[in-house]
Chain A
Amino acid sequence: MKTVTLTDFITDLTQQGNVTVNATIEPFSEIEKQEACQVLEQYYATTLVDIPHTAPAFLPEAALWGAMLIYRACQSILLRHLTESQVRTYLLPYSGPPSAEAIYSIDLTLRFLPDLMHFAKGLSPDDVLVQLLRNTAQSWPFSSVGVDIEENSDHTTFIRLHPSLKYAYVDRIIQKRDHKRLTHPELYDLVKAALGIHADRFWPELKHVTKDLTHIEY
């Protein structure tokens, strides 16, 4: 059977949305990682024309971490014989400092996390994989719009302070109608401004959400 490299996985994920993973877990070689970084950087370049303003710079180690995490998460969903400790080993959190560059580079593949979580919804809520995916969603709010998480004020600040991430985040919040992400008055105002006088047409439920999010009047 053909071995699916990390590069193959990233290419399929970003171009087709359908992926194949190896049935056994083998460590990624250094050459595989280097090639994956090149593919990720090429994909990063193609995203620049779609994101508002100027995107944060490409951070190879962050982008690579995100791609490997998604690859291992896909394997963990399919290979149910893996032990809890093995899954924890494969889905280690990002070790670098948070930054706008890290958020966007990781998002190149982590933007598929909500779809992956939907795919894993058949698993028990107590499954370690589900818990780790939820923790990842919690850590990277920019990539997990639509997933019900607690506020991550550190990352939200990075998002708010970068014009590109800020407007892209607002687009995603509107697209997913995720009112729980309006955790800051500035985000609330940006969403209201984006919808303008047509808020009732695009997002009728938004009128029930107050600026401080303390009164959800359904």
Chain B
Amino acid sequence: MDNRIKEYRARYNLTQEELAKKVNVRRETIVFLEKNRYNPSLKLAHDLASIFSVTIEELFIFEDKINNK
């Protein structure tokens, strides 16, 4: 599963620390998410999508979509 967190974070001009505080996780968790080394829970995915005002599908790219490209 790929994601566009880094892209949206840059668009919203947020630092990793600021985003971490907004979704109540540690900064390391955001680092791991951006490096694609952690698949978040549904709640965290929902919280992140809410912050960026997008749907979960827009923020997280699932493998079947990557294969279809």
A and B assemble together: no
Q: A: which residues have CB within 8 A of B?
A: none
Q: B: which residues have CB within 8 A of A?
A: none
